[in-house]
Structure 1
Amino acid sequence: MGAKAPTDDANMLSVKGSGKVNGSAGANRTTNDDAAELSGEESDDDAEKHVTQPPATAGEGGAMKKKNKRKKLKKKRKAPTVQTEPPSVLISQLFPNNNYPKGEEVEYRNENGYRTTDEEKRHLDNINSDFLSDYRQAAETHRQVRQWAQKNIKPGQTLTEIANGIEDSVRRLVGHDGLSEGDSILSGMGFPTGLNLDEIAAHYSPNAGNKTVLQQNNVMKVDIGVHVNGRIVDSAFTMSFDPMYDNLLAAVKDATNTGVREAGIDVRLGELGGLIQEAMESYECEINGTTYPIKPIRNLAGHNILPYSIHGTKSVPAIETDDTTKMEEGDVFAIETFGSTGKGWVYDQGEISHYAMRRDAPKVDLRLSSAKSLLNTIKKNFGTIPFCRRYLDRLGQEKYLLGVWYARS
């Protein structure tokens, strides 16, 4: 989920794309044109037949009929070893003993190579096993849901249908449906699923009643967040059903991969932005006979991630800047790139769909009872994890819009 960078004047865009790896509450970021970014079955066998002979009784023909009783013994259901479609098997069942996939490990570059042989550093890495286990579980959940979504999202589906399918899958895989008080804080969605069409760059999720249908000519940025014990994995991809936009999608993918490859301890964020920019601007895209250079969006950026907080204090720009802030040991970053064939700038517009409680919000005495009740619900069920109106609907909240407006004002 992209972070908004400091801006001056807002300019308009034509077409934009997004791509991010492991990457605020507020209005969706828009442009004024187009935008890019077994279970096993039970098997019952017959058990041995047990023949019983009741005691004989006096009377004519005093013989008793023997009754054969057939008793079935159920076999214990085996734990599933493969994922279903749609995803429904707990990740913890597929990977017992918290032995989750490690993913791709990249060696430190250049002068930082000594860190791989530093005994103390290796020891510090090893003792933080819960940190890595939570992140790997969240990442594997994200990977399986993401692959299912990429295969099954098709034109003709509503945005609400797509969002619910993704979010329900995430909740099933982490084993927390989020319906009981505090369950969503344990594990679940890291933020509302972003489904950003065309000129909408980021931060839009369908609210209740949304009937928008995905069309063949749409470019959609799908932004999914998964958290386990507050460790948030933030990753997005762009979908297009028209090959005309292939280069736009390739540009943001290359830029994102460049950012991931060049990231590391002691890397300066401003210099990293320059490498991302260079990769992005090496592409162009022909749309309806006109060739456009692809530019990074200057006021959308990647960011570091803190426990239970999707946006930390560091920003990863998509352009070269004079920011000398360094990546440090223990940092977790979302490398996000957004590409545009326009001017490379977004502005806030449209209905709000993402909300989050700020850690540093000043204490305010809410006079409206509905606002107090709503704030209490948010604290108990989401904490500082971002949420949307559909999540309040799932919890049975009603007539909360005034409370939302009052609480955020």
Structure 2
Amino acid sequence: MSDENERIEKTLKAGEILRQVRAEAVKLIKPGVRLLEVAEFVENRIVELGGKPAFPCNISINSDAAHFTPKRDDERTFAEGDLVKLDIGAHVDGYIADTAISIDLGDNSELVGAAEEALKNAINAIHAGIDTAELGRIIEATIKEFGFKPIINLTGHGLQRWIAHAPPTIYNFATQRGVRLEEGMIVAIEPFATNGAGKVTERSEVEIFSLINLKPVRMKQARELLEEIKPYQTLPFAKRWLSKAPDLIINRLVREGVLRAYPVLTEVGKGLVSQAEHTVIVEEDGARIVT
């Protein structure tokens, strides 16, 4: 199999896995159910179906937009009225697919619809040669038609082997210039809509990390931890995936530039956030939806 065929075939397989897992996971998200139960279901099911998680299952609720995954013994549950974003990724031999959906446990169907419609309109516009600035314009215009704002500092992105966030960056608002999409590129289109200020900021909760610089470390505990992390290569992992993950050691590795931390991203105006995402393959005259 040529490298190109392998890339497409394995990305499609990862997408097929995610379609099934997404449909099954959505049915589990109900008031009273533990977030950890859903996250573990998603991650285990991806493996059962022949893939591996490309990053920890993200379950961001209400004002939180991204990077929330439950702790090891998390007892938090979904509540009546919650607006839940389920963002999941799978890979087959490092070839990644990424998808997200909003599940409304309250009265937020318009906000959910804004992100979904923006996603649909952007995908319908894709073809080889389109400028990503045009996709940003479409996403922003669609979300504003619903009376909401796009989140300007969260973006769609390219997907490359072992890299969940690769170029090009696809902004969710109109920019002067972007990047021309080429046939065969694999990208994730990822609109976020909010009734808040339209921007996210970090908050202190961090459960997701990735390895960015494997260099010698002196502490025995740190060396053991890195051995456990190595199989994830450059992909994000959850603290709860590790047999032992002392905060002291993890924080030290972050300070030393060995690990990157992904704090939870939350809407600055405390607005509710909706999200919709598909991975697509750019074709000459359209886009093939992978997820």
Task: Tell me if TM exceeds 0.5.
Answer: yes
Q: CA deviation at 1:313?
A: 2.5
Asked if the contact 2:208/2:237 (under 8 Å) is kept, the reply is yes
Larger strand share, 1 or 2: 2
Q: Distance in 2 between the 1:350 and 1:320 partners?
A: 30
Cα gap change, 1:218 to 1:403, in 2 (>3 Å): same
Q: Percentage identity across aligned positions?
A: 28
Runs of 5+ in structure 2 lacking a partner?
256-291
Write the deviation string for residues 113-148 of structure 1: whole angstroms up to 9, x where unpaired.
xxxxxxxxxxxxx98322222112111111111111
**CA root-mean-square deviation:** 1.7
Cα shift at 1:263: 2.0
Tell me how far 1:405 sits from its aligned partner: 1.3
Matched, 1:213 2:77: yes
Q: Tell me which residue corresponds to 1:114.
A: none
Of residues 127, 145, 166, the one that matches 1:312 is 166
Consecutive unaligned residues of structure 1, counting only runs of 5 or more, are 1-125, 175-186, 284-292
Q: Superposition pairs for residues 5-84 of structure 1, below 5 Å?
A: none
For residue 270 of structure 1, report the CA deviation from its aligned partner: 1.5
Counterpart code for 1:400 = P
Q: Which amino acid aligns with 1:321?
A: T
Residue 234 of structure 1: aligned partner = 98
Deviations 1:55-108 (A, max 9, x none): xxxxxxxxxxxxxxxxxxxxxxxxxxxxxxxxxxxxxxxxxxxxxxxxxxxxxx
Which residue matches 1:9? none
The amino acid that maps onto 2:13 is Q
TM-score by length of 1: 0.60
CA–CA distance in structure 2, aligned partners of residues 342 and 267 of structure 1: 30
User: Does 1:142 find its partner at 2:18?
Assistant: yes
Offset, 1:266: 1.5
The whole-number CA distance in structure 1 between the counterparts of 2:6 and 2:209 is 28
Aligned residue number for residue 61 of structure 2? 197
User: Do structure 1's residue 390 and structure 2's residue 240 form an aligned pair?
Assistant: yes
Q: Which residue of 1 aligns with 2:110?
A: 247
The CA distance in 2 between the partners of 1:249 and 1:150, in whole Å, is: 14
Structure 2 counterpart SS, 1:128:
helix
Kindly state the Cα deviation for residue 221 of structure 1 after the two structures are TM-superposed.
0.3
Deviation at 1:321, TM superposition (A): 0.4
Give the C-alpha shift of residue 330 in structure 1: 3.0
Provide the rounded CA distance (Å) in 1 between the counterparts of 2:191 and 2:178: 20
> Given residue 68 of structure 2, which amino acid in structure 1 is its aligned partner?
Y
Superposed CA deviations along residues 197-226 of structure 1, whole A, max 9, x for unmatched, are 111011110011221110011111000101
Residues 88-237 of structure 1: matches in 2 within 5 Å?
128-174=4-50, 187-237=51-101
Tell me what 1:368 maps to.
Answer: 219
Is the 1:158–1:214 Cα contact (8 Å) retained in structure 2?
A: yes
Give the aligned residue type for 1:246.
Answer: S
1:184 counterpart residue number: none
Q: Aligned partners of 1:399, 1:129: CA distance in 2, in Å?
A: 39
1:366-393 alpha-carbon deviations (Å, 9 max, x no partner): 22221122112211x211121101211x
Counterparts of 2:4 and 2:218, CA distance in 1: 44
Checking the alignment, whether the CA contact within 8 Å between 1:220 and 1:240 is kept in structure 2 is yes
Query: Alpha-carbon deviation of 1:320?
Result: 0.2
Structure 1 Cα separation of the partners of residues 116 and 37 of structure 2: 26
Query: Cα–Cα, structure 1 residues 325 and 215, in superposed 2: closer, same or farther, change >3 Å?
Result: same
1:241 is displaced (CA, Å) by 2.0
Q: Which amino acid aligns with 1:146?
A: R
Question: Structure 1 residue 257 and structure 2 residue 120: aligned?
Answer: yes
Q: Distance in 1 between matches of 2:125 and 2:47?
A: 33
- Residue type at the aligned position of 2:233: G
Q: Secondary structure at the match of 1:149?
A: helix
* TM-score w.r.t. length of structure 2: 0.83
Supply the AA of the counterpart residue of 1:249. V
Greater C-alpha radius of gyration? 1
Q: 1:398 & 1:193 partners in 2: Cα distance? A: 20
Residue of structure 2 equivalent to 1:339: 193
Amino acid at match of 2:128: I
Contact 1:269 1:324 in 2 (8 A): yes
| 1:375/1:407 contact within 8 Å kept | no
SS of the aligned residue for 2:49 comes to: helix
Query: Separation in 2 of the partners of 1:324 and 1:135?
Result: 25
Say whether the 8 Å CA contact 1:281–1:295 is kept in structure 2: yes
**Equivalent residue letter for 1:151:** K
Provide the secondary structure at the position in 2 that maps to 1:355: strand
The residue number in structure 1 matching 2:135 is 272
